Amino acid sequence: MKKISADIVYPITSSPIKNGVLILDDDGKILEISTREKFDEAELEIFQGALCPGFVNAHCHVELSHLKNKIAQHTGLVGFIQSLMGQRFAFSTEERLQAIADAEQEMIATGIVAVGDISNETISIEQKKKGNLFYHTFIETIGLQPLIAQKKFDEAMELSKQFVISNLSIAPHAPYSTSVSLIQLISDFNQKNNSPTTIHNQETEDEELFFKNKSGAFLDFYKNLGLDISYFNATKKTSLQSVIEAMPVHSNTLYVHNTFGYPSDLQAIAQHNKKSFLCACPQANLFIENKLPDYNLWSESGLKICIGTDSLASNSCLNIYEEIKTIQQKFNHLSLETLLKWATLNGAEFLGIEKTYGSFEIGKNPGVVLINNETSGSLI
């Protein structure tokens, strides 16, 4: 049994507790939440700083960890994708596996207990099978031409069979890379299984330009890939509003980035599905586009907000507390209590693991993170 205390404890589902105490069994399950005056201090492990539940990294691509420090910053999304495609397979399997193991170790050390992880290939399976972290894997599907929608969906199903791990679902990559027909197939499948899904949304201005008037950097990008997009007609709508009717209406859905979204886009997300979530990846947004979403608008939208690190291709670290600090630098009225809820309970609810993770409540086993001196570290 462990009895630990700190200057302040954030249970998340109830108010912060000054000089709070957590009593945990040997497996980390919470037995009691209390305050210091009820104990002889000699029987407590006392820490300076704050305690919060383990972080949920709602959006990561652990299979891209070998691209740390390999891609230039501030190129815009199209430049980033081109650089990523050029380098992704230019490393040995050993280098890639080591980078995945190192990335996982960094997540554990900084207090992450669960990850929503995007996979386009199988290279992360062995690490995930070790069970060091909870992973929900999203098999990411790409296919812009409507005629190949069924073929691409079948390929995703084949890939999912190779994973032989639990907690899997299928996800469309982004509106500019996945046809409405393919998104619909994926949504039907996930809704039938009541599985969460996710999509990259409005990460760049070029995404809007493509949908609104078939212009912007994606045109040259598709041309260089040899993709015929002559069938595509501008929708005159934002990218999000061009595809949202095909997104799930009653299963958990995470919209990632939303940097260039309008208030009407957030409203559309909220109206389309009560189980919609937004995911903030501020450090990746600064890395790629050098722009942050308006998190004030997000807060006012009523949607639940999660936090993700994205991958080491577009971030210097996989550390949720660093993401929180980056948000606070520009949005300093957002309290630590609010941001910790984004970083813990909301991500757990999106992944459907809130019975174990996301808050300090008796019977849960959410992990314990100590935050002090501007760093975070896992205690349990």
Q: How far is CA 344 from CA 111, 127, 178, in A?
A: 10, 23, 30
Site residues (CB under 5 A) for Zn ion, limited to 140-199: none
Q: Please state at what angle helix 77-87 crosses helix 205-213, rounded to 10 degrees.
A: 110
Choose the binding region for Zn ion from 17-25, 164-172, 216-224, 307-315 (rule: CB under 5 A). Answer: 307-315
- Look up residue 7 and give its two tokens: 């200057």
Number of residues this chain uses to bind Zn ion (CB under 5 A)? 1
What is residue 145's three-state secondary structure?
coil
- Please say which residue, 207 or 310, places its beta carbon nearer to Zn ion: 310
Q: How far is the CB of 59 from Zn ion (least distance, A)?
A: 6
Q: Which single residue is written with the structure tokens 């409540």?
A: 361
CB-nearer residue toward Zn ion: 203 or 349 = 203
117 binds Zn ion (CB under 5 A): no
CB nearer to Zn ion: give 289 or 310.
310
- Closest to Zn ion by CB, 207 or 367: 207
Closer residue to Zn ion, CB minimum distance, 310 or 354 = 310
Closest to 346 (Cα-Cα) out of 166, 22, 114? 114
Q: What angle do CA 7, 12, 13 make, to 5 degrees?
A: 130
Helix (H) or strand (E) holding 49: strand 45-53
Q: Which residue is nearest to Zn ion (CB)?
A: 310
Binding piece for Zn ion, criterion CB under 5 A, among 35-43, 69-77, 158-166, 302-310: 302-310
Stretch that binds Zn ion, among 70-78, 209-217, 304-312, 341-349 (CB under 5 A): 304-312
Q: Which of residues 308-337 bind Zn ion (CB under 5 A)?
A: 310
Choose one: 67-75, 167-175, 213-221, 306-314; the region binding Zn ion (CB under 5 A).
306-314
CB of 293 vs Zn ion, minimal distance in Å: 14
Neighbours of 41 (CB within 10 A): 9
Task: Give whole-number Cα distances, 254 to 127, 162, 226, in Å.
Answer: 24, 24, 31
* DSSP per position, 275-338: TEEEEE-HHHHHHHTS----HHHHHHTT-EEEE----TTS-S---HHHHHHHHHHH-TTS-HHH
Shortest distance (Å) from residue 248 CB to Zn ion: 19
Least gap, CB of 170 to Zn ion (angstroms) = 15
Which amino acid, residue 70?
A: K
**Shortest Cβ 200–Zn ion spacing (Å):** 6
CB atoms within 10 A of CB 202: 24
Report the residue number, 206 or 310, with the smaller CB distance to Zn ion. 310
Please report how close the Cβ of residue 287 comes to Zn ion at its closest, in angstroms.
12
Identity of the residue, 210 or 287, whose beta carbon is nearer to Zn ion in the bound complex = 287
CB of 256 to Zn ion, least distance (A): 6
Q: Please give the residue ranges that form the binding site for Zn ion (CB under 5 A).
A: 310
